[in-house]
Amino acid sequence: MSRRPIFRTRALAVLAVGALLTALGACSTSEGSGRAIAEERCPADAASLVPTDGALFGVNLDWGTETLAELSGALGRTPAVAVVFSELPLTAENRTNLVLAAEQARGENSSLLLTLEPRAGLAAVTPAVAEDLAVLLHEISATGVPVTVRYAHEMNGSWYAWGQQPIAYVASFRLLAAALDEGAPGTTMMWAPNYGGGYPFAGGEFETTRTDLPFRILDTDDDGILSMADDPYAPYYPGDDVVDWVGMSLYHWGSVHPWGENEIAEPTKFAQQLIGEYDGLGGDDRALPDFYGQYAERAGKPLAIPETAAFVTADAPADLALDIKRSWWTQVLSAETAARFPALAMINWFEWNKFEVEVGGDVDWTIARDDATLSAFTRELPTWLRFAPEADPCAAPAS
C-alpha cells in the first residue's frame, strides 16, 4: 500500500528584494547597520526553539500566492515556523528565494524550517557545497532568524533521487551536519523519514533492487525480500550526535488506492500511525516500529510533524470539507495528543490548494482560505500550541 508524498511546485513571490538583501547585513548594533535599534535582532540560535512545554505551530506556506504576514493576519496569530524548500546545491534562484523567505520570517519573528532537496543526487552535496550553504545560513541566523534544516526528507521512499540509499544518505547527512556545526552553529538538523505505511514503496523510480548494495542493509529481517516486515526507519538514522530533531509528516488521505476519496478521518489514526499501531480502513500497518517511542522517547529528541493536513478534493461540498479537516485537526491538536506525546514540539499545517498527480485533480489542504473552516480552526486552537513570540530588540553590548 503505497501512500506517496505530495509533489508540488515550490516558488516564492519575489517581493522587496532590495530591502530583503539589506536585512542580511542589518543584524548587528554597529553604527553602519542602517537600521534602528528597535528593528534589529540578536543572532538566532535554533536550538533554543524547542519549547519547554507544548508544541510550536507552523505553516507550509504557498509562498507564491500568500505572504506569511497575510496568513498571520488571517489566523490572528503568527506561526512560529515557516517551511521553505530549496534544492541543494543552491542555484541563484534558490538563494534569492531563501533570502526572501528569511526576511518574511524575520518580519513576523518566525523561524524557518528549511527542507533541502539534493535533486542531483547525494554525491552532488560535496564538502564545498555544504560549506557554501553554511555561509548563507550563518548570515540568515545573524539577522535573528533561527533555521532548522530538514535534509533530504523521506529518504526511505523510492520517489526521490536520494531515496533508499542508507549508506550514502547517512554519510551525506553527517557531512552536512558537520559543515553547519562549524560554519553556522546557530542552525539545527532534522531527520524526517516518510511514514512507513506501504514500505518499501515498490514501483518508484529509485526503488532499491536485490542487486543493489543497500539491499542487504535494508533487509533488516534477513529474509531475502524487502517488505513492511523490514524496519523502514533504522537503516537511515544518521546518529544521535548529529540529529537535533526527528520528524515525520503525517497526512490524512482516503483509504482506497489511489487514496483520493473524501473521507472522515478515523478518530485515533494520527496517534496510531505515530506509534506503529494503525490498523484501519487504509490497511494494517502494525508491522511498523513505534517511531515516537524509538526516536523521540528513547533517543531523547524533540519530535516534529513537519507537514500535516487532510485530503479534500477542491470540488467537495463546503460542509463535507470542513468535517473532514476538522476530523483530522481535532485529533492532531487534541489534549490527548499533547498528554500522550510530550516530546511533540512542532506541528506544521500544509497550507496549499494544488493539483495532485496521484489523484489527477486539485486538492484543498488549506484551513485559511474558507471563512467557515478558518473560523472553526482558529476557535478550536488549543492553548498548548506555541506561536511566534514578540520580537526582542538586539541590545547594544555593554560598554
Q: What is the rounded distance in angstroms from the CA atom of residue 348 to the CA atom of residue 272? A: 19
In the residue annotation, 307 being an active-site residue is answered as: yes
Establish whether 154 is a catalytic residue. Answer: yes
Strand partners, 212: none
Q: Which of 154, 263, 356, 358 is catalytic?
A: 154
327 exposure class (CB count in 10 Å sphere: 0-12, 13-18, 19+): middle
The total of other beta-carbon atoms located within 10 Å of residue 274's CB is 24
Q: How far is CA 255 from CA 130, 217, 283, 349, in A?
A: 40, 31, 8, 21
Peptide bond before residue 258 is cis, with ω within 30 degrees of 0: yes
Residues with Cβ within 8 Å of residue 91, at least 6 apart in sequence: none
User: Which listed residue (108, 307, 356, 358) is catalytic?
Assistant: 307
* Side-chain-facing half-sphere of 66: CA atoms under 13 Å: 19
The backbone torsions φ and ψ at residue 171, rounded to the nearest 5 degrees and listed phi first, read -65, -40
Active site residues: 154, 307
